[in-house]
A and B are shown apart, each in its own frame.
Chain A
Amino acid sequence: MVPTNTNAETDAALQRLGRNFTRLLVLIAIILVPLEFIAHRHGEIALEDIPLFPAIYGFLAFVFIVYAGRALRLLIMRREEYYDE
């Protein structure tokens, strides 16, 4: 038994939730920038000492993973019944 159709009421509530969560996250991100300098953040390796290195690396890594995954679909994605045939 697999549900398929969507629930409009929940959808609206989810959008509100999403907006609030985004605001919270942006707020934390903004706070983290000055903390970089207040906490004298330093890394385990020299490269990490570049200002905001974890933020930049995390952001780019995430986007790369999603896009690489998307490209990988062309190569390794098959029908759901692939092995059943």
Chain B
Amino acid sequence: MNSAGIAVQFSALPPGVVMILAAIAVPWIPHMARQAWMLAAIALSAWGLTTGAGEHFVWTALGYEFVLYRADALTVPFALIFHIAAALNVFYSAHDRKWTEHMPSLAYAGAAIAAVHAGDLVSLFFWWEATAVTSVFLILSAGTSRAQKAAMRYLLVQVASGVLLLAGAAVLAAEGAGIAFEAFDFNGPGAIGVWLVFLAFGIKAAFPFLNGWLQDAYPEATATGTVALSAFTTKLAIYALARGFPGTDMLIWIGAAMTALPVFFAVIENDLRRVLAFSLNNQLGFMVVAVGIGTPLAINGAVAHAFVHIIYKALLFMSMGAVLYRVGTVKASALGGLYRHMPFTMVCCIIGAMSISAFPLFSGFVAKSLTMSALGYSGIVWAYLVLLFASAGVLEHSGIKIPYFAFFAHGTAYDKKLFADGEAPVGMRIAMGIAALLCIGIGVFPAPLYSILPHAIDYSPYDASHVVGQMQLLVFAMLAFIGLIRFGLYPPEIPSTVLNSDWFYRRLAPRIGRPILAAIASVWTSFVTVLRGYRDALWDLVERVMHAPITGPTVPGRAVMVQTILLTVILAVGYLVAG
């Protein structure tokens, strides 16, 4: 095969697949060389993006067209940011000498990237499940029994989402709507299939009441695992919604609820990584609303938000991961005063906090402004006010609570040995540093980000009116926080469990289900007992008939009688069957 042939084949290979292939070799490569290997695989996969727009790999089988590599204006920003997130993870986890987490982490990122390039629902289903099966190892790696249980619940929910997707694809194919992954029509053929696909996407996008898995599982993963988890699964769902359901009004309602509800849970949650998981849910809400509006400006808002969100959310999870790695806990009630011990992590955390809170000159501002403007133009006032309210909520839990309780709050006496090696490991600091620079870089120079969005726009977030309005919202909300703290009105952090929608299947379903199962089991047992009685009686009868002639005196008449009865029965059965 000549080199041109290889080049042609590589250009048709869906991006991400090369990362999955490279992951297979990860266990056999020694520690630091492994990080270089993984970066090379990510770079090679990213090079595959240069093939450009179009359908590059279509496989026709069983009368269907499976589009394994489709690239267009919507896939590019997601593919780019997924590669960036995967590379950041390699740096962040460089201190980890074991291969057990690196391998699934690289494969997971690869599966998510391949999923973005799937042009039909069956290929999408394949990668959709691949992200579930690979990512579950990041939760299992924590090694605790809590993590194991959470991982199994996570896997069940994720696989269920995939099954719904496949069922939806089957209905659509059967009804003649085809399996191509394009915008769906709720009123077209195979409407049930469309609903199934919508539900599948809704689970991964953590819609209200379908979100329990997110806050349940993510905070149970390892310090490095949660960072990887935060980037891919949910944003893949946002991509899928933007592709399949742009302009679906229902999404504005769903998204608005997603922005507002987690805010209240995050206020009282004690585990700071779980606070970030609620915050992640709230951020997804902004993107879902934007997809629901569906105008070019709004879709740009959703994509830009997903792009910058992956960076600053990873940065926040990284900073809490560094705290977890050094101190061994991220419980707000047990932390405080860490700014002296981990100043670099603290600064990075605050940059992430200011980005997610959408301070001007930080990346969140330039992305969220698109969605807010699109919402303003569409004239949906109630949703606009809900999102503005949720923006104050973001400031509360991610902007203030995370950095405040981890690094300030009060001076906690830590064991000196904890920080003997300095603060976070070098790899973690490199990853946090790059992410922090990206947060500021995109915030100050949004033009490159705007240039890769699906629709060409002429939009400037930095007009005086807009900046002053946003600063007022944030600064006066911060003053409210300071007032509440000063007057002792801010509720203290309490070690506790905050109930979420996973309660329905972790507590309610077992409570209702167990008695029902017990009742069914006891009915079944007594039924089996009765059957066993009949069976024994029948055997006794057979025994008596069969043994009596042998043990007793031989009576020819009885043998004839038994044969006659048997023949009669066979005859009767024969007539019944024939008749």
* Interface of A toward B, CB cutoff 8 Å: 1-14, 17-18, 21-22, 25-26, 28-29, 32, 35-36, 39-45, 47-48, 52-59, 61-63, 65-66, 68-70, 72-73, 76-84
Contact = CB atoms under 8 A, between A and B. Distances in A.
Given A40-B464, A57-B389, 16 more contacts: A7-B411, A13-B340, A28-B471, A32-B468, A32-B472, A45-B381, A47-B381, A57-B473, A59-B480, A61-B477, A72-B265, A73-B491, A73-B494, A76-B265, A79-B496, A83-B506
Contacts of A65: 263-264, 267, 392-393, 396
B384 A2 contact: no
Nearest to A77: B496
Contacts of A43: 376, 469
B246 interface: no
B313 interface: no
A84 B146 contact: yes
Nearest to B464: A39
Contact of A3 (B334, B473, B478): B334
Contact of A68 (B264, B381, B469): B264
B498 A45 contact: no
Interface of B: 146, 263-265, 267-268, 327-329, 331, 334, 336-337, 340, 372-373, 375-377, 379, 381, 384-385, 388-389, 392-393, 395-396, 408-415, 464-465, 467-482, 484, 486, 489-491, 494-500, 506-507
15 contacts: A1-B415, A8-B411, A11-B337, A14-B411, A25-B479, A32-B468, A44-B377, A45-B385, A52-B472, A55-B473, A69-B264, A69-B267, A76-B500, A80-B497, A82-B497
Provide the main secondary structure of the chain B interface: helix
A59 B373 CA distance: 22
A58 B496 contact: no
A23 to B, nearest CB: 11
A35 B465 CA distance: 9
B491 A66 contact: yes
Nearest to B485: A18
A10 B473 contact: no
Contacts of A26: 479
Given A41-B468, A45-B384, A59-B476, A3 B267 contact: no
Contacts of A10: 337, 340, 410-412
A17 B408 contact: yes
B58 to A, nearest CB: 43
Contacts of B379: 45
